[in-house]
Structure 1
Amino acid sequence: MTDAPRLNHQVCFALYSASRAATAVYRPVLEDLGLTYPQYLVMLVLWEAEPRGVRELGDELGLDSGTLSPLLKRLEAMGLVERNRSGEDERRVAVHLTAAGQALSSRANAIPQRLAEAAGLTSDELEQLRTTLERLTEALHHSQ
């Protein structure tokens, strides 16, 4: 069975393991903010620019509405976002940060540094890794 694929030679497993490890580092920090990792990702997009349409958020995060809608509903129940239907197009829902949602961004500023410290990589190495992963993601999307 020496010809059989080996787990430790698989890029997919290395990506899976790294993702789980990174999420584990984020978990206690995000718990302090009262957020799950997917909620944090939604908040990151909104902190960059708002309002955002639900479809726009889904496209940016790679999430379908069946996954995104419950996330937004929980964030709204937490008082961090508001969803409003467009007066021009009832099908369009805009997501806005509340004052509490905006204020949370300052408490989240140190989160990327926490991952960098835990990773033991220089900022240049992390940037190179991010760039490589973005290229990989783009290539894999185009191969489908």
Structure 2
Amino acid sequence: MSQAVDLVRGALQLRDAQLLGAELAKLNHVLLDAQQRLFSLGAELLALQEQHFKAREELREMRETLAERSRYTLVEIGQGQMAYRSNNAPVLGAAIEPVLAQPQHYLCQQCWDIRGAKSILVLHLDAADGPVAICRNCRDGWMRADLIAR
């Protein structure tokens, strides 16, 4: 009789182990799904962080561009010829007389607006037709510069 009880106990343990194994397999499947979703969310987070970084960098560059552009005013330097003139503000310091932050200069409007490059116009006062300015970057011809020379 004790052998029969032992066999029944063994059968019950075997059945319980099989049921437990099936439940553990289900649990492992759920854990693997959760882990896969976690990896997926981590990848999405990384992509969003990269997108956020790029947007912040673009915003910083745009703010710098706006600040740089605010240091210049578009003016007419001759008949229909436009250029950007520096807005010079005096720098106060220990000196008795305030000094300019940078010398007065003009930038080629086409180079800056179209190409995004700052190119200083060179003024030639002794040209045959009167004062002219040239951009050495785009060499966009000689521009009449009557208003600069004054």
TM-score relative to the length of structure 2: 0.26
Which structure is larger by alpha-carbon Rg, 1 or 2? 2
Higher relative contact order (CA closer than 8 Å, sequence separation 6+)? 1
Query: Which is richer in helix?
Result: 1
TM-score relative to the length of structure 1: 0.26
Query: Which is richer in strand?
Result: 2
